[in-house]
Amino acid sequence: MKEFLIIFFTQIVFGHFLQCITCVIWLSVFDKNRLNKKLFWILSLSLTVSTYLVRLLPIRFGIHTLLSIIFVVLISIWMLQISVNKSVFIGLGATLLITISEILSYLIFVLIIGEENFKIINGVESLYRYVAGDVGALIFFTFVVSFYWYKKKRKRDKI
CA distance 113 to 109: 6
CB 47 within 8 A of CB 90: no
Mean residue pLDDT of the chain comes to: 82
**Predicted local distance difference test score (pLDDT) of residue 52:** 83
* Alpha helix positions (H), the chain: 2-9, 18-30, 37-56, 61-80, 84-113, 115-123, 127-158
Q: Which pLDDT band holds residue 143 (cuts at 50, 70, 90)?
A: very high
CA distance 87 to 103: 24
**Quick check: 140 pLDDT over 80?**
yes
**Predicted local distance difference test score (pLDDT) of residue 41:** 92
pTM of the model: 0.79
Could you report the per-residue pLDDT of 105-126, keeping only the tens digit for each? 888 888 887 877 777 666 666 6
What average pLDDT does the segment 84-100 reach? 89
Q: Nearest-CA neighbor of 141 among 10, 43, 20, 9?
A: 20
CA distance 159 to 149: 16
**Predicted local distance difference test score (pLDDT) of residue 142:** 93
